[in-house]
Amino acid sequence: MTIIFVIGQLSVGGSEKYILKLITGLNDGSYDIHVICLSNKLALKFDMEQKGATVHIINPNKFKKIRSIWQLHILFRKINADIIHTVGRSWYYTIPSSIFIKSKIFVSSHSIPSWKKWFHKLADKILLRKVSMYIANADRVKKETWENIGMPNKNATVIYIGLDTKEFDLLFNQPIANPIQNTIYTVSAKPILTLVAGLSPVKSIDTAILAQKYIIKTYPKCQLWIVGEGRCREKLEKLVKEEKLENNVSFWGNRHDIPALLAATDIGILSSKREGLPTSITEYMAAKLPVISTDVGAIKEQVVHNVTGILVAKDDPVALSNAIRDLLENPAKMKEMGLNGRKIVENIFPIQKMITSHKVLYESYK
């Protein structure tokens, strides 16, 4: 079976890791796997090639979009895949490019976009009619992006993005590789809060930074480690300087050793305005960390309030800081939440369950 994955970029993000996990799980000799990237952001290109995928690059920024759609169409015809599996916004290129192509079209969606107006939803409804299977990573995502525009449930399913706990634990037990400079990286620099996310407006990382102002009044050595890259980095670094938090907030950029960072962490946090079902929270729970997150999107399908973590209102640094302090003052509760989270990862988010569910779907469309 030949499968093409189409995605907008190959940065170190949740959707990109999802494809990498699928490629790894499908690399058993039964599949000829191709990945088409619609940009020049290629951080995971080598990783995907190492797992046996052939990577193709079409950059719409260099050409008119119509020409890019035509290039994609030509590539589809050349590869002649059984299934074309497109992730996220790339379906706006993939579906028009697949006209007169016999391949089955799968769409994966991992977010709940708030920017879509009625005409976007109308366009989605027209385009998605060609889709054989829609795969959401959470029930809430499925409802908001598929059911609410009137699409048939028989063509949609939910598959949680899994995590390989064995691989995670191996990295978890390794030392941090090349810790960044100009940060307090000592045993005494406690507690450590880690936030793993792309540095985009929707992640509202400024909320977490502002929460640090209140936390250091009680815990002056508290560290906030921000792991990820994005267009807001310069703005966020400026905010840290303005608030005189240089000794309490560090930017780690994109990292391949996130489990090792989480091993040194006390609480995993997320401050997003909108979310689907973020893989960062699954990683926090795999690391046996209590989670403090904004109560948005489908996060309730991961974080059980007062069982595996605490949910707070978005855009509220005071509420976020209060929740962090409350947990830090109750180490027994933190440990209990961390253990509960690990159990949920092992029972609900195992990697093999995700791989097997996709294989069953792919094979059913042979």
| Assigned CATH class of 165-348 | alpha beta
pLDDT at 11: 86
The answer to whether residues 243 and 209 touch, using CB atoms and an 8 Å cutoff, is yes
Q: Minimal CA–CA distance to 18: which of 131, 141, 116?
A: 141
Q: Domain map of the chain by residue range? A: 2-162+350-364, 165-348
Q: Minimal CA–CA distance to 188: which of 256, 247, 246, 228?
A: 247
Exposure of 236 in the CB half-sphere (CA atoms within 13 A)? 27
- Check residue 40 and report its DSSP letter: S
- As its CATH architecture, domain 2-162+350-364 has 3-Layer(aba) Sandwich (3.40)
Rounded CA-CA distance 294/320 in Å is: 8
Phi/psi at 281 (nearest 5 deg)? -70, -40
> In Å, how far are 96, 101, 108, 206, 359 from 130, measured between CA atoms?
9, 11, 14, 40, 21
pLDDT at 146: 92
pLDDT at 235: 97
Respond yes or no on whether the N-terminal peptide bond of residue 191 is cis (omega within 30° of 0).
yes
Amino acid at 64: K
pLDDT at 185: 52
* Number of residues that this document lists for the chain: 366
Cβ atoms within 10 Å, residue 276: 27
The CA angle 190-345-296, to the nearest 5 degrees, is: 75
Residue 107, both tokens: 């769409």
Q: Answer yes or no: pTM beyond 0.75.
A: yes
- Check residue 350 and report its DSSP letter: B
CA 100, 27, 135, 145 torsion-angle sign = negative
Rounded CA-CA distance 63/251 in Å is: 34
Burial of 174 (0-12, 13-18, 19+ CB in 10 A): exposed
The answer to whether residues 257 and 171 touch, using CB atoms and an 8 Å cutoff, is yes
Task: With a cut of 50, list the residues of the chain below it in pLDDT.
Answer: 187
What are the residue ranges of helices labelled H in the chain?
Answer: 14-26, 45-50, 65-79, 91-97, 118-127, 139-145, 165-172, 205-218, 233-242, 258-263, 279-286, 317-328, 331-348, 351-364
